[in-house]
Amino acid sequence: MITIRGLFKRYPGRDITRNAVNGISFKVPDGQLFTLLGPSGCGKTTTLRMIAGLERPDAGEITIGDKHVYDAKQHIAVPANKRPIGMVFQSYAVWPHMTVFENVSFPLTVGKNKPAKDVVREKTERALELVGLTEYASRPATALSGGQQQRVALARALVREPEILLLDEPLSNLDAQLRERMREEIREVQQKLGITAVYVTHDQNEALAISDCIMLMEHGQIVELGEPQQIYRSPRSAFTATFVGVANELTGTVERTAGATNIMTSHGSVSGVVRDDLIHGQSVQLFLRPEDFVLHRDRPAKDVWTGTVSFCIYQGDCWDYHVESAGTLLRVRVHKEKAGLKRGDVVFLEPDPNAAVVMLAP
Ligand SMILES: Nc1ncnc2c1ncn2[C@@H]1O[C@H](COP(=O)(O)OP(=O)(O)OP(=O)(O)O)[C@@H](O)[C@H]1O
Ligand SMILES: [Mg+2]
């Protein structure tokens, strides 16, 4: 478990009203892959580097397991090399003048308490095997692809068998396809070892795909913390709803009748929203994901929204449509559709009241 309490960081010379990290507290449970997600400059790297001991906080506490590694009040600041962590950076930072084996074994060969040669060999071989690089051991580290170099970096971070693995945008130098494969590999290794990992990314798809828990940050603060499904399906703030995944953001008014709660929008209503706390007449924000609509080509005998297709994107496993409706553009995703629609086609949309996220208007 990593426990962070009241952590602050302001870089020297920066505006005193703008802390890079502004009083955050959270816990990372053992064995989890915990992701720090958020837009550029929100404080992800700073937070990670403070956990690593590479950046000194201005205030707060950091505990790894039962060990205080930083405590401003008690003047405790354990240096980075004494913390039980391994770290992978965005740039692979493999050493070009060394072989793959030498790169991975390096952390075992520095500092005090160096293990015996055969132990170094054994641990290095185990780390190489873990990332699937056994057969590359004697290659110069530069004679590898980007993905392989990142695996060297991962093996090197794991070779000392740390309690905590920290990764800062480890995949951002790789092309899209490789990124997807590598994120699965990282997740697999993390689960195989059962190691606690803190993973920094600004890529929401990556965060959704591999995390046990996502902590969304903005301006040095925590916006929301939860499991990927909760962050995606039940966001608690407009920032979360729009930053993670695509959301149609609408405004509406609550209409309560005897049996049902409906939200009236300029497109039509969302009928049967299950929310007891809404009051008749309240102004609300409404978020609907592209997949939260049933799309009809013929007008069904129920209350639907009418729109015109303005743009079609074929994704292989689905179609994405832009639909003009009541003067705004809605994004609609349809799976398993036999014949694609065309620009100009009139369609009828049925929003799913169970999927709609409703928030009181600010
Ligand atoms: N060494 C530094 N000196 C001064 N300001 C810094 C320094 N490092 C970061 N900052 C500032 O602190 C804030 C947080 O930076 P940080 O690198 O933690 O963001 P990030 O979330 O990792 O962003 P990105 O996604 O772009 O990597 C930013 O406003 C940044 O400009
Ligand atoms: Mg960063």
| Predicted local distance difference test score (pLDDT) of residue 96 | 86
Instruction: Enumerate the β-bridge partners of residue 308.
Output: 324, 346
Q: Would the pLDDT of 69 be above 90?
A: yes
Which residues form the domain of 282?
248-360
Q: Ligand 1: which of 45, 204, 221 to mutate, judged by most atoms within 8 Å of the beta carbon?
A: 45
Q: What is the mean pLDDT of the chain?
A: 93
Q: Are residues 209 and 271 in the same domain?
A: no
Query: Relative to the CA of 38, which ligand 1 atom is closest?
Result: 21
Confidence of residue 338 (pLDDT cuts 50, 70, 90): low
One domain for residues 219 and 263: no
Name the residue among 177, 172, 182 with its Cα closest to residue 152: 182
User: In this predicted model, what pLDDT tens digit does every residue of 198-227 receive, in sequence order?
Assistant: 999 999 999 999 999 999 999 999 999 999
Considering the domain architecture, whether residues 62 and 149 belong to the same structural domain is answered as yes
Are residues 147 and 85 part of one domain? Answer: yes
Q: Residue 166: what pLDDT?
A: 97
* CATH number of domain containing 232: 3.40.50.300
Same domain? For 238 and 292 the reply is no
For range 69-83, the mean pLDDT: 95
Overall number of domains in the chain: 2
Q: Is the pLDDT of residue 92 over 90?
A: no
Q: Reply yes or no on whether the pLDDT at 15 is more than 80.
A: no
Q: Where does a domain end: 206, 221, 243?
A: 243
- Do residue 42 and residue 152 come from a single domain? yes
Give the confidence band of 312 by pLDDT, cuts at 50, 70, 90. Answer: very high
Give every CB contact of residue 17 below 8 A, 6+ residues apart in sequence. none
Euclidean distance between CA atoms 307 and 142, whole angstroms: 55
Q: Whose CA is nearest to atom 12 of ligand 1?
A: 20
CATH number for the domain that contains residue 286? 2.40.50.140
Greater pLDDT, 171 or 339: 171
The answer to whether the beta carbons of residues 8 and 60 sit under 8 Å apart is yes
Q: Please indicate, yes or no, whether residues 204 and 258 belong to a single structural domain of this protein.
A: no
**Domain C-terminal end among 222, 243, 264:** 243
CA-nearest residue for atom 20, ligand 1, is 41
The closest-lying atom of ligand 1 relative to the alpha carbon of residue 220 is 14
Name residues contacting ligand 1 (CB within 6 A): 11, 14, 20, 38, 40-46, 202
Tell me: do 172 and 291 sit in the same domain: no
* Shared-domain flag, residues 186 and 47: yes
Of residues 358 and 12, more confidence is placed in: 358
Final residue of a structural domain among 243, 278, 303: 243
**76 and 166 inside one domain:** yes
On whether both 210 and 323 belong to a single domain, the answer is no
Pick from 9, 10, 14, 243 the residue to mutate for probing ligand 1's pocket: most ligand atoms within 8 Å of its CB: 14
What is the Å distance from ligand 2's center to 36 Cα? 10
Cβ-contact 159, 170 below 8 angstroms: no
For the segment 255-291, what is each residue's pLDDT rounded down to a tens digit? 998 888 999 999 999 999 988 899 999 999 999 999 9
Is the domain of 190 the same as that of 268? Answer: no
